[in-house]
Amino acid sequence: MNRIFLWLIATACCTILSGVCLAWAKKNEPSCIAFSYDDLSAIRKSIKAGKTDYLPAYNQLLKYAAQLLETQPEKVTDGDRPPTGDVHDFYSIGKFSWRNPNTPDGMPYIRGDGKYNEEAFGDRYDLTRFETTVKNVNILTLAWFYSGDERYAVKAGELLKNWFIDPETRMNPNMKCAAALPGVNDGLPTGIIFTVMLVEMTDHVQLLRLSKSWDADSDKNLRKWFAEYKTWLETSDFGKIEKAAKNNHGTWYAAQIVAYNLFIGEKDGMNEEFQQAKNKLSSQVMPRGELPLEIKRVEGFHYFIYGLKAFNVLANGLQKFGYDLWAYQTPDKKSLMLPYKYIIPYITREKSWTSGGVVSGNARDQIIMIKQAAARYDLPESKKAVDLLNAAMKPNDIGQLYIFK
């Protein structure tokens, strides 16, 4: 009797401990919102099993990452001194800021749409340095995740510390001097859109947390930077203006707040974020699924996808906190399903796009978005769209490594 009792106790304890261990493992898994951690894990398993599906993209990733091991970190302190006088402030002109053709010195600058001014990407300004840093962190982290080679994790950590943590080289957590229009203003609220890149970077840093080369102090300091940047977004005049934007800028602002809350472990205020997200869906999505403020742009298709991606990321982030924007329907029956029903026939070429721009863009992003939507809605043409987009991607496209087939 005693043996049976002891066996039952031991079995119960093992069951409880197994459950605790499983819960702990699940809790410590990356909570990615721009892409699927489960997909990446499945791809890694496929690579380790010696399957060739992802081999060209994997080899390309390692080739690129190996080159990055030899590069020097970019610094926000390089380039022109910002109008604030603080070299740690991010400084750039707007991508659509152009020299005035009607004045001898090109001042004051004027704003156009549809064509980038290459000057914005030059060495005088921080935009390219910032984009390069974020892109390289993502590449190196992905290379570590798939290969297990800690050299890549170490280098990714070096870049993160250089741009966000080290006192001599760190960027101040604000965008006061972003998207400047020289001769008119020192920066614009719209410059906050540049930090949308950080949403996906925080997903990659969550992967990096699984590496022994990314230490707890560095992670703490990076979370501190994001907490300070989120505070600036929420309290600055620029942030408040961007929050109220009626187009993708307002949605991406909301997506950034939710993503940074997730990254730093902040749970307060999420009910308010959900209410605001519902309001944005109601005001931006039309009954047939159009996003009119995006379609009217010169590159209307690009901005439609960009605006819809903001809703995807926002919905994924809110879901991590228990709020389901994917399932939400406005009183007049509008939901996130409608923009997909609207745009997919153009992606499959069943309809001809007659608004601004052409049907093209980042196939990786579109595939991820459509797969996420198809998992929640009845979208019978989604498979055709995904197949066409997959066919458009080269086998060695690193984007393949985010999409489990």
Give the whole-angstrom CA distance, residue 68 versus residue 261: 30
Q: pTM for the full model? A: 0.92
CATH superfamily of 31-68+280-405: Chondroitin AC/alginate lyase (1.50.10.100)
Residue 260: HSE in the Cβ half-sphere, 13 Å Cα cutoff: 26
pLDDT (tens digit, 9 = 90+) per residue, 231-257? 999 999 999 999 999 999 999 999 999
Nearest to 310 by CA among 293, 331, 298: 293
- For 71-266, give the CATH class: mainly alpha
Helix (H, G, I), strand (E, B) or coil at 177: strand
Tokens 């997506």 appear where? 255
Helix (H, G, I), strand (E, B) or coil at 178: strand
Structure tokens at 273: 């974020």
CB 281 within 8 A of CB 325: yes
pLDDT (tens digit, 9 = 90+) per residue, 88-127? 999 999 999 999 999 999 999 998 877 899 999 999 999 9
pLDDT (tens digit, 9 = 90+) per residue, 166-178? 999 999 999 999 9
Helix (H, G, I), strand (E, B) or coil at 331: coil
Residue ranges per domain, the chain? 31-68+280-405, 71-266
Please check whether the two domains, 31-68+280-405 and 71-266, share a CATH topology.
yes
Cross-strand partners of 177 = 91
Helix (H, G, I), strand (E, B) or coil at 246: coil
Taking all residues of the chain, what is their mean pLDDT, rounded to a whole number? Answer: 93
Task: Indicate the pLDDT class of residue 361, thresholds 50, 70 and 90.
Answer: confident
Structure tokens at 156: 């990714």
What's phi and psi for 177, nearest 5 deg?
-115, 30
At residue 57, the pLDDT reads 98
